Structure 1
Amino acid sequence: MTSTATSPVDPGTIPPHVLRRVIETALEEDAPWGDVTSETLIPAAATATATLGAREAGVLSGGPVVVAVMHAVDPTIAVSLQCADGAAFSAGDVLATVTGPARSVLRAERVALNLVQRLSGIATVTARYVDAVSGTDARIVDTRKTTPGLRALERYAVRCGGGHNHRTSLSDAVLAKDNHLAVLLASGIGIGDAIRAARERLGHTVHLEVEVDRIDQVEPVVAAGVDTIMLDNFTPADLVTGVGIVAGRALVEASGGVSLETVAAIAATGVDVISVGALTHSARALDLGLDMSVAVGVAAPSGVAAAAL
């Protein structure tokens, strides 16, 4: 596997055990008892070359996933990546070339495409948000609004687009949101007291964040000793006020109502972090295709040669 493109970001990697689990589940779902069509129509000796091509411009995420899917089906399949994850590409670009037994490539192609299209869609929309806040100190981060079972892959795609990750799971940090505060209020517990009590119980490495939705909540929460305060659905003017009240005592995260049309104005208020659920819950799959041809010397059934899968 080789790559000739230079990535503008280093997205890191997807945990191998997570990637294996996703691929195994997807392949079992797609061909639980084999690929009846290919095993019936395609000669066992047929080999094929397929090109992963871009039908629209975007940012790639999932090249190594394509490799992993192909090798999970058949380790003899050779994959050459012409574009690195995190790199921008244009419509018509060839992103990867796949060569191997035709039956194996046909069995792997849909799972590989589904994943690389999904991840590249996330990377592409993330890059647009990152570009929109360039020149500010705000960082774009994802949320837990991910596809069940695909969080690690989708968070990787956000990094490919130049974004950053919020907490991975409920186990990673304390983040008290509106429902937590409602339960505390109903129990007669003040938020300031709850934060101070949490600080006493938590280890020194555990991050503590609290969400507020009113200006009058900012000072009591910050004074109680949070690491990050989330200002939820604040107007740009109120965000400026909130940032002024915090005055560097905690990180300030803006959330709610964030879109490509509003994100630049939000970033200009001086917040440190902007969380955007749309990076994962609303990103559409990018239009990529795998076009395949049967190797010379092997007869192809009518309609198979050079067909788009």
Structure 2
Amino acid sequence: MRLRTFHPGYPPACRCSLPRGRTVSNRSTVHGPTPPAQSKWLSQSASQTRGSDKGEVQFHYDISNDFFKLWQDPTQTYSCAYFERDDMTLEEAQMAKVDLALGKLGLQPGMTLLDIGCGWGSTIMRAVERYDVNVIGLTLSENQRRHIEEHWFANSKSPRHKEVRLQPWEEFDGKVDRIVSIGAFEHFGFNKYDDYFKKTFSWLPDDGVMLLHTIIVPEDEEVKAKGLPLKMSTVRFIKFIMDEIYPGGRLPLASMVKQHATKAGFDVTREQHLQPHYVRTLDTWAANLEAKKDEAIAVTNDEVYERFHRYLTGCADLFRGGFTDVCQFTCEKAAG
């Protein structure tokens, strides 16, 4: 955004096909009342529910660490920031978001925290420094793994165990005390949700807690209440995101998260929506990228710059317009 902007949690990943019976005029809007299942159209596609594989994740995150550094904050936290105060810098707001998430886990010194989709490492290192815990980070990005080891771990003075694995969550096997996952759930396929919540539930002790931070799309009732129009420009942008930014990406409804979490045995004790904070985050990212245009092109090329600029500004518009939201779900093991 502007600029206008966005995040790695991205917008509704759907195919560029309209709900049955809908037609498009030469104008940009699909005429008629809001489709009864527009939220499902935004969140799913019969042809793609599998989620992102390792190659697709690396396609996005392994472009160049130097490129991402140009427009992210110094901690390279690539998810919605939390502007607790209006005068916060992006870096302060990103740490506020990390603290918001970690503060819901009830961490105690000596515990082991698993971070699923640990990004460039700011969350696990904040946990080590502030809560004195052991950490295990999972990522599918080689660039992120290397950055964490060479930048964070190499400079840490904490004696706690610190580990980052180039490993999908499906292959993790072990016991941990708490789990955090910020901006990774969007890469999982719908068909893996049951497995994800079952596995995470099994890794936790009886008092275990998981904090899940993910982008979501609105429920049908919210779509109708807001009168969200289905425009061809939105359809084209979503197809662009699916094809060129986050291949394999999926966005859930909040009800899907709660349904699958509850089915596995969790109580979803809190959900906190951060939509306006993502708009500001994306706007800031886009402005930073524009200000560093020449440098961005120098470390990548014109095509990468234009692709990410379109991605950030367009995603900001989706959040601004109410087509997407971002939410933190606190999932606790149900008593008994």
Which structure has the highest helix share of the two?
2
Which range, TM-score by smaller chain? under 0.3
| Normalised TM-score (structure 1) | 0.26
| Normalised TM-score (structure 2) | 0.24
